[in-house]
Amino acid sequence: MAQGRVYLVGAGPGDPKLITVRGLKALRRCDVVVYDRLAGPQLLQEMRPGAERIYVGKRPDRHTMKQEEINRLLLDLALSGKIVCRLKGGDPTVFGRVGEEAELLRQHGVPYEIVPGITSAIAVPAYAGIPVTHRDLASSFSIVTGHESPDKLDRMIQWDKVTNATGTLLFLMGVAKIGYISEQLMQHGRSADTPVALVRWGTRAEQETLTGTLGDIEEKVRLANFQPPAVIVVGEVVRQRESLKWIESKPLFGWRVLVTRARSQASELAERIDDLGGEPYVFPVIDTVRQSDPAEAERIKAALLEADRYDWVILTSAAGVEHFFSWLAETRVDIRRFARARFAAVGPKTSDALAARGIVPDVIPSEYQAEGLLESLADKLAPGQRALLPRGDLARELLPDELARAGVECVELDVYENRLVVPEEDLLAEMLRDGEIHAVTFTSSSTVVNLLKALRRLGVEQPAELLAGCVIACIGPITARTAEAHGLRVTLTAETSTIEGLLAAMLKHRAPDTILEEERF
């Protein structure tokens, strides 16, 4: 049997982009990932297909698995020949009990690697606009556990030395003990006016910050019903928050947005949501694949061999452009054989895809859907003309029907298929039930239908009801009508059927005074 291996990986504080390159590499190569509640759920999407997930996280009300059991689990998995990723929130060496896990592996000769992560002790305050050091306010900081019982805290922490040892004090897992911690710090020399901040679920959409002083923070926590997990920051650096807070100033801050479009197309929308302060959760429910039916493939090739007989080539999506040129390459048809034809593109993305291949469309409608394209073509079409329409198998029949009414012979080619995709994970249904998805984006009717199908496959009997608490954002009126026909209450519809139009509609709903600008990183 092959030798197993364990990677003890720090996942970072919650924002999935804050995992290290080394940690991401280990996650992507593992056979099994053993994770806890503080590891961002999006990171699990980086696992390779077929890899196993085992949840061992702890919640305040119960322990899913004892630490000794986790240690043994890692050992048993590795001894069975598995490559294991132990994914831990923050940095595994900062109150992560990685020493216990690594020691048992070492005792049994199992190779392991400790992959550091960004600790929540510094990242979470940074996302709240609080630097843990400052030239004029604090030249050092201490990280202290606040999770233990008061008597154990007193045995482990020398309050007389810790209280004034550094300018900034950082307590992890100490919300429930905030009163005792504050009392000890004041008894040992810190002023009751010392600023304090508690940052809950820092770096995530749920990030929430509560500020006060040592003298009043316990009461503020009680009145706000402020719950863990949170990082506690004590020191003058907390005063920097009002001038330095940045993520909370972004217009989509606080929103976790479900992105349902094909993975190959999802990155643009996800990146823009991230730029605007939202947290994208990519859950592709559709994929575009090359036409697989042999009979249809032969029909596509035959139609392309008649390239010099077309007056129009009409493309309705960037995917259509990609697959059209793929079929041209396979059939060995030179694009110059379409010299007689004029090209029409339904929108800017389709136009850009054509331009990238050296073709500038003759017609681009102002309304980016079939109706707009027909309006733009109305005075250019003539009976007897011939049009080639390469597109997907789920496209509406409006375009070919109207072309036929105009006397144009339309050759429809299903150059690609839209297929339902159900990602290999069941966290989405749980997140929806817990209210952790705040908005859902639909970029086509297919994404609406497929998301509902995917949720049913994940065991949701009434998916429309589960989505009732989310903002439903549609890229255009056709998509919106499909959503409504399936029982969804559409919250907003883009004025222009583009990603920028969808983002603009989301901003208008979320932050009406925001002007959408192109952002660069």
Q: Which residue has the higher pLDDT, 222 or 46?
A: 222
| Whole-number pLDDT of residue 519 | 44
Q: In DSSP terms, which residues pair with 144 in a beta bridge?
A: 171
- Residue 424: pLDDT band with limits 50, 70, 90: low
pTM of whole model > 0.75? yes
| Whole-number pLDDT of residue 117 | 96
Give the three-state DSSP class for 9: strand
Q: Does domain 256-285+421-510 have CATH number 3.90.1200.10?
A: no
| Whole-number pLDDT of residue 152 | 65
Q: What class, spelled out in words, does domain 5-118 have in CATH?
A: alpha beta
CA distance to 246, 250, 515, per residue, from 511 (Å):
16, 9, 9
* 84 pLDDT above the threshold of 60: yes
Tens of pLDDT along 453-496?
999 988 899 999 999 999 999 999 999 999 999 999 999 999 98
Tens of pLDDT along 295-340?
999 999 999 999 999 999 999 888 899 999 999 999 999 999 999 9
CA distance to 114, 127, 289, per residue, from 260 (Å):
35, 27, 17
Residue 376 structure tokens: 């733009």
The full DSSP string for 339-376 is TT-EEEESSHHHHHHHHTTT---SB--SS-SHHHHHHH
* 262 pLDDT above the threshold of 60: yes
Residue 316 structure tokens: 């309705």
Under CATH, which number does the domain 290-419 receive?
3.40.50.10090
| Whole-number pLDDT of residue 521 | 32
- Residue 236: pLDDT band with limits 50, 70, 90: very high
- Residue 520: pLDDT band with limits 50, 70, 90: very low
CATH topology identical between 122-245 and 290-419: no
What residue segments make up the domains of the chain, in order of their start?
5-118, 122-245, 256-285+421-510, 290-419
Tens of pLDDT along 339-377?
999 999 988 889 999 999 999 999 888 776 777 778 888
- Residue 58: pLDDT band with limits 50, 70, 90: low
- Report the mean per-residue pLDDT for the chain: 90
Q: Which residues are catalytic?
A: 36, 58, 173
Q: Which residue has the higher pLDDT, 297 or 515?
A: 297
Fold of 122-245: 3.30.950
| Whole-number pLDDT of residue 264 | 66
